Chain A
Amino acid sequence: MGLIRDEDAGEIRQRLKEMVNPVKLVHFTQELNLEYGRETQQLLQNLTELSDKLSLEIHNFLLDKEKVTEYGVDKVPATVVRDGMDHGIRFYGIPAGYEFSTLLDAILAVSRGDSGLTEESREKLKRVVSPLHLEVFVTPT
């Protein structure tokens, strides 16, 4: 049984129609010691079934060392949202509740290749020319 309700699936499918370029969710997990590991993987599987432009790649955090290093993932469950390139967007933990809609926004922004920010913000962001790491802590709602 899926984690996305039928009535929500239709709405999500509709939103995902706004996708332009294909997006891949790269998911890292492990079998043991993860409170919501199975649910997270199931949720992502259900989600990626809702659009042809969305795909899912799953890696084992303990075994796929090469990918873990490539994506710089240091904890699980972890989900990378990427297209042809890695934009540095990661979700750690289950993207449920409010964060599910944040995940959809991330997918759409990456797919469009457009941040949706104001011109003023885009201009200011050009000043960032060295690595900047933002870790946003949230709670399930």
Chain B
Amino acid sequence: MRLAQQFAVENEFIRADCIESTEFPELAGMYRVYAVPKTVINAATSIEGALPEGFFLDKVLEAVEPPAPAESS
């Protein structure tokens, strides 16, 4: 959770919600939260578990950026 919040402090486009699963079971069910922490990105993709800063950020960026075009030869 800390990382998501740190990203939000760093970048004004980023919002970070910390959601107590047991108090919002419907939402947790909708996102298929079976283990925590689980990070849902733009209500679409997700990251399971706690990752180190660099890995977590790369996963988040991968989820929102289109893949780099393949090098044309």
Contacts and interface: CB of A to CB of B under 8 A. Distances in A.
Interface of A: 35-36, 75, 77, 87-95, 99, 102, 105-106, 109-110, 113-118, 120-122, 124-140
B18 A75 contact: no
B28 A109 contact: no
Contacts of A117: 6-7, 10, 53
A92 B25 CA distance: 12
Interface residues of B, number: 43
A99 B19 CA distance: 10
A134 B40 contact: yes
Nearest to A79: B18
A35 B40 contact: no
B24 A139 contact: no
A135 B39 contact: yes
A132 to B, nearest CB: 5
Interface of B: 1-2, 4-24, 27-28, 31, 33, 36-43, 53-54, 57-58, 60-61, 64-65
A28 B49 CA distance: 28
A89 to B, nearest CB: 5
B28 to A, nearest CB: 6
Contact of B14 (A77, A105, A132): A132
Given A133-B41, A136-B4, A136-B17, 6 more contacts: A93-B19, A102-B2, A133-B14, A135-B17, A136-B38, A138-B1
A87 to B, nearest CB: 5
A104 B70 CA distance: 44
